[in-house]
């Protein structure tokens, strides 16, 4: 009788474990499987910061339309600079593959990386100057309050992503250099 009781408890325990596993697979099916290699994740939503800015600055529909045009242009320019930066870093760290890395080339790439970072900072600064120009006089106080929160709002750092066409290739000498 003791053996039968132990076997019954084991069967019931395994049945409950199976039901729990099936339940979790139904509720959260994708969390248990790695993504398919051909699956490209959705790009991060740009609506987050844009929606916050529109709401905090109380943009009307005309201002929203102009603002979205600014955002599209800014994103395109940022993407170009990010792509250039990714190539510069690949070239820079690629120098480490040689036993004696070319220090002149490393210095030149380091300067190009610094120049690219400066261009990104200036691009962002100019973008917010353009947003300020969209504001009516009554919205300037809201803009000033928004400026205080910019670092927190945009502090998420994203690693450079390859183009939809695949990874970037080619030497960085072909990239436009920002003086």
Task: Tell me, yes or no, whether 90 lies in a domain.
Answer: yes
Range of the domain at 96: 48-156
Task: Tell me, yes or no, whether 92 lies in a domain.
Answer: yes
CATH number of domain containing 129: 1.20.120.1490
Residue 113 to residue 108: CA distance in whole angstroms: 9
Domain count, the chain: 1
- Average of pLDDT values for 6-21? 84
- What pLDDT, on a 0 to 100 scale, did the predictor assign at position 28? 65
Confidence category of residue 48, pLDDT binned at 50, 70, 90: confident
Task: Tell me, yes or no, whether 142 lies in a domain.
Answer: yes
Is the pLDDT higher at 141 or at 171?
141
pLDDT at residue 9 greater than cutoff 80: yes
pTM confidence score = 0.59
Alpha-helix runs per DSSP H in 41-162: 47-57, 61-94, 103-134, 140-148, 150-153
- Average of pLDDT values for 12-35? 71
- What pLDDT, on a 0 to 100 scale, did the predictor assign at position 150? 78
Task: Tell me, yes or no, whether 18 lies in a domain.
Answer: no
């Amino acid at each position: 009788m003791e053996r039968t009781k132990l076997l019954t408890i084991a069967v019931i325990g395994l049945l409950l474990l199976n039901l729990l596993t099936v339940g979790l697979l139904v509720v959260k099916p994708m969390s248990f499987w790695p993504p398919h290699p051909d699956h490209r994740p959705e790009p991060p939503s740009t609506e987050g910061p844009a929606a916050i800015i529109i709401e905090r600055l109380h943009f009307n529909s005309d201002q929203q339309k102009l603002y979205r045009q600014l955002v599209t242009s800014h994103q395109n320019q940022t993407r170009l600079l990010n792509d250039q930066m990714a190539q510069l870093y690949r070239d820079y760290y690629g120098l480490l593959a040689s036993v004696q890395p070319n220090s002149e080339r490393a210095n030149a790439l380091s300067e190009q990386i610094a120049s690219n970072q400066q261009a990104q900072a200036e691009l962002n600064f100019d973008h917010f100057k353009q947003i300020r120009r969209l504001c009516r006089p009554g919205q300037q106080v809201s803009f000033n309050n928004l400026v205080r929160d910019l670092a927190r709002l945009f502090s998420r750092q994203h690693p450079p992503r390859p183009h939809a066409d695949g990874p970037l290739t080619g030497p960085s000498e072909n990239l436009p250099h920002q003086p």
